[in-house]
A and B are shown apart, each in its own frame.
Chain A
């Protein structure tokens, strides 16, 4: 399935509603462009633009799409926030980013990373998708955040307080670290951009702790210009780690890998 097929499936299974009267025929693609909203919501910082509902009412998948007016250098000129409303929608978006700059790209990304949505597109049945989703979560070998957290904290505890403070970068300067990462490196992929926006968001920034390469810490999320991955656990999604960290009030260590191939101005 490519991006266009994915949008066709979204339109097939979901209905979009809006309370904004002049927003005619809202869709997942053409009218979802940032600049379109940016010019229309100049004075509003956050506004609900769309509500998506499963066409089959029994499936009860409902989520809202908000437009957030904010700018950050070349990273974004406003972005969309997805807010799942029903428990089935929460399952659909579990372990994926809920922030994006391009809705069309975003739903293709969700399709690639959400077991729920893959099954839903294949079967058209939310109960079936939920069953798959829950079975995957509980089966042997599924991601165990408790274990991840224990491993990470055990690793941190092997360093002295002085060593740890050398390792952790200033938490007031997250914006600077992201700004420098964008300036000094080659162009980031959409997936990396999405992660950087999440890092800047109020939801995650209390839990994220940027580290340098001073010590050989293994349990961290590694960000380069093309990819973001959980070091040591290649099969685990980064948002599974971060969402669990938020729920459990835990830290997530994030390390940047610079390539110094950015523009020279």
Chain B
């Protein structure tokens, strides 16, 4: 059995007061005819001041924009509209508490409302989505952190092979466009297998970490990238670096590695310490080659350095 009309009306009014979203109803002339409790609480404007006002007199900044277009769609075409939080930043002046600086994040829907005895009205429904927006921002930030982690090598903390590939692509393109030289260093720890066999894998890992750190510390320019290319192999991308500069740097790196003085009983070096061999390849400015060719040249240079006795550098230009 339905409640008698008066009770029903006051029931509905109580419900409208209690719902946790903003409800504004406009008549066919865009006058505000309903302004619920939530709107009062979050706008600081009471129903008594709002009801009867022209909507655009109350919110002149909304004229000619999306809310205006949505109201027109509802009143003239009988179509509902969605105003996403993403594309419409907080259109209404609504706050968590009166006096707050930042507006609530809002999702807005504008719906036509048909009435038996009057021209079409429209309902503007506003939902506070601040929490959802905050959550998504957090998730986005966490995703970014994770993404950056998958570009680094778990053991040494320097860039991983994936990062190297991406950086190489980028610098190769840049060198081609800018007619700049591009150098690549391939660095291999000498007799590393023997080190592992003799000292064990844990010490082998320690050695890799130390060498990686020492080499990375020498690179100063933001564009230079050192990456773990393979088990005991490192690669260094040197944009805008010609063969002389690259060779100088390679020598400095080789020296730094030996200065670590990590004992290596099975090393072929006289001093019985850990050393590295370095292959240098340079793509001359204005003469770009395929990335694979540059890597191949660096590899061959590295091989040459090994063959010539290790603990040395060797440079090559790509064929």
Instruction: Say if A and B assemble together.
Output: no
Chain B interfacial positions (CB closer than 8 Å to A): none
